[in-house]
Structure 1
């Protein structure tokens, strides 16, 4: 089996893998905050130990363009703090997603994992994210059972929306594990179809179009990179059949799910809606910016709405676009930093994927991180307000894995 002898080596070498894997899996749980914080503290302690032991070797994974792009982005957020019309609001908003997530995990994770082999790190990534998908589906199922006992029929309430974040991050692991295990037997095809149908059913219940579109794009990228012609045919067939069924359904507007599927401009995105009004605010101060944070955006929007009767919403819903949000916060330099970071991440991941093609497990782990990032930032981030917290895990794992691939190939 592919994952037999999961972490080869001594217990001392395997400890960072178990620690990081547990941290990733715990991020998909609803509670257990104390355990999450404990794993973070232990990772920081491990990173400090490695730095004291041999800081030259420990810092080697950070010597790349991706980490430079991360630092550039973080600096622009600090700039937005200084120019903010309310520095306290901006600092409170940036503390968790920027300082305690993007900066912290981008720095700590590569150091903690710098001694482990590429295949060990890849196995940990695949298994922890697969565990995250199981945890998310289990949470979703338990919510449906609890709601049904209260008389709430499935697919009638939007109470499952918060789980959409986890599905964006985890769904590609199904295709990655399928490619690793693939034997073209009836059993393996049945496992793929059942796992995919269960997950897609749960994802439909979130009523989140950004999630649905992300899954389609991520799946297309994975199938293309893995050259899965049969999966491509099955996916296209399923999409066409779904579209035909939706169009031919006579009572679309009577049901929340089908209504959501047909909408093309939810939240009246353009003109006087969410993204249109966000762009209007930005163009009033496109170079300097206003300061970081959704709370600050809400405050400025709500102060100006009385001067814009054409705006549809009298209370702010947010910009519904991560690029507009950063442009609003840090001006043109912030937008440039985010674009640079996005391109740098994709380039770094693609180069690591090409360099690891000789090892199927390592290549699939890199591909999983790359498509998850694309689905989160580019696809979903274009249409919704997304949390930046998770990006630190993307960057940290990519740098750790990319560094080991480079060292082992050399």
Structure 2
């Protein structure tokens, strides 16, 4: 009797975990899809809250087993950036503001999310994790496109033509993450996948151009070229070149015929060769001048701390181009100002550790979705934090999406290796 009951019990357990697995992947995927959207704050908080509660349940149930996820260099780098942030709070001239700012952007959205994602997904296979990561970012293109196009329509009704204002540039991080993840759809077999890729390619291409940010364009172009070279997808190169040529000619013809009196910023940006006053006495030059006032110690955490310092230094630096406080437009200078030389070391320790983890994962993985996921982490890191980080103050909290997936992919691979042994 007991033997005949065993298969039923096993099936019941399998079905129970099937639903649990669907829940785990569902809430993480929802968080990814909502992450870059504006105007849906309550839903973001709901998704994050569900993730935190689920992770807490797993911590209570499997606390010792879960520690194995974080016994690696990447987790150590995350701990170091946390300690450096705490240090920058202590040296801040406005501790209350710095605590409030760091609690949201570093302690919760970077550190906590990086830890929670692998805890929730700790029982999933590498393939499922990789699919979740890649396809969540691809699916996220649709809702952000709806919001972006709706904004264009509203602007048009107010007399603002596309490519004439900078109102879409704050979505640059989203477009970098999503467009580089979209490259993986090109590899999927079947005409339907190719058709979806082409449709989403046009959609994201339009939105990327609409940012009017050359740093964003470069942050997508450089890693995309790396991806093409690594994957040897020369057909994609020919496709992009052909589409770009047709698009450029169409844009020129339409702008000349229908909007000859309007100065379209896109044309200016495509021809511009200067740095938009980033170097010399521009944003980065001014940031470096301020950093050098206290290069070892730093000045304290938070955007407002920097802007206040900029304002107080305007009278003594008449050569600065911008006479109103403006950010450093460089991720390294930003953290150098906040936390001194320790901040720079912690930042690059984290980024290099993530790159090293992804590179090792890529090399050890066989061809397939897992290998593609590791490569996607690498090229997003290159595009958003290295290339764009040279020209903009990139938000470090965005790295949580990459760190969390990297930690769980690494753990899942090690778990699989132990089982096979």
TM-score scaled by structure 2? 0.88
User: Are 2:207 and 1:202 equivalent residues in the alignment?
Assistant: yes
Match of 1:3 in 2: none
User: Are 2:296 and 1:291 equivalent residues in the alignment?
Assistant: no
Q: Which residue of 260, 268, 272 corresponds with 2:281?
A: 272
Match of 2:399 in 1: 391
Match of 1:165 in 2: 173
Match of 1:214 in 2: 219
Q: Aligned partners of 1:361 and 1:14: how far apart in 2?
A: 19
Match of 1:262 in 2: 271
Q: CA deviation at 1:189?
A: 4.9
Q: Which residue of 330, 353, 359 corresponds with 1:321?
A: 330
Q: Which residue of 219, 232, 238 corresponds with 1:227?
A: 232
Q: CA deviation at 1:390?
A: 1.5
Matches within 5 A, 1:148-187: 148-179=156-187, 181-182=188-189
User: Are 2:415 and 1:407 equivalent residues in the alignment?
Assistant: yes
Q: Aligned partners of 2:96 and 2:363: how far apart in 1?
A: 44
Matches within 5 A, 1:126-145: 126-145=134-153
Q: Aligned partners of 1:252 and 1:369: how far apart in 2?
A: 44
Q: CA deviation at 1:171?
A: 0.5
Number of aligned residues: 400
Specify every segment of 5 or more residues in structure 2 that has no aligned partner in the other structure, as ranges: 1-14
Q: CA deviation at 1:8?
A: 12
Match of 2:64 in 1: 56
Residues 298 and 340, structure 2, Cα contact 8 Å, conserved in 1: yes
Residues 113 and 400, structure 1, Cα contact 8 Å, conserved in 2: yes
Match of 1:336 in 2: 345
Q: CA deviation at 1:22?
A: 0.9
User: Are 2:44 and 1:39 equivalent residues in the alignment?
Assistant: no
Moved more, 111-120 or 188-197: 188-197
Q: CA deviation at 1:237?
A: 6.6
User: Are 2:100 and 1:92 equivalent residues in the alignment?
Assistant: yes
Residues 51 and 59, structure 1, Cα contact 8 Å, conserved in 2: no
Match of 2:125 in 1: 117
Q: Which residue of 304, 312, 315 corresponds with 2:321?
A: 312
Residues 323 and 381, structure 1, Cα contact 8 Å, conserved in 2: yes
Q: CA deviation at 1:152?
A: 2.4
Match of 2:10 in 1: none
Q: Aligned partners of 2:46 and 2:310: how far apart in 1?
A: 39
1:400 match: secondary structure: helix
Q: Aligned partners of 2:248 and 2:164: how far apart in 1?
A: 21
Residues 96 and 389, structure 1, Cα contact 8 Å, conserved in 2: no
Q: Aligned partners of 1:252 and 1:386: how far apart in 2?
A: 35
User: Are 2:380 and 1:375 equivalent residues in the alignment?
Assistant: no
1:281 match: secondary structure: helix
Q: Aligned partners of 2:69 and 2:154: how far apart in 1?
A: 46
Specify every segment of 5 or more residues in structure 1 that has no aligned partner in the other structure, as ranges: 1-6
User: Are 2:111 and 1:106 equivalent residues in the alignment?
Assistant: no
Q: Aligned partners of 1:269 and 1:243: how far apart in 2?
A: 27
- From the superposition, tell whether residues 297 and 405 of structure 1 become closer, same or farther in structure 2 (CA, over 3 Å): same
- From the superposition, tell whether residues 33 and 176 of structure 1 become closer, same or farther in structure 2 (CA, over 3 Å): same
User: Are 2:298 and 1:281 equivalent residues in the alignment?
Assistant: no
Q: CA deviation at 1:131?
A: 1.4
Moved more, 348-357 or 68-77: 348-357
Q: Aligned partners of 1:196 and 1:325: how far apart in 2?
A: 33
Match of 1:28 in 2: 36
- From the superposition, tell whether residues 240 and 342 of structure 1 become closer, same or farther in structure 2 (CA, over 3 Å): farther
Q: CA RMSD in A?
A: 2.7
Q: Aligned partners of 1:188 and 1:112: how far apart in 2?
A: 30
User: Are 2:151 and 1:146 equivalent residues in the alignment?
Assistant: no
Higher-Rg member (1/2) = 2
Residues 185 and 193, structure 2, Cα contact 8 Å, conserved in 1: no
1:102 match: secondary structure: helix
1:409 match: secondary structure: helix
Residues 110 and 396, structure 2, Cα contact 8 Å, conserved in 1: yes
2:292 match: secondary structure: helix
Match of 2:22 in 1: 14
- From the superposition, tell whether residues 229 and 20 of structure 1 become closer, same or farther in structure 2 (CA, over 3 Å): same
Matches within 5 A, 1:72-87: 72-87=80-95
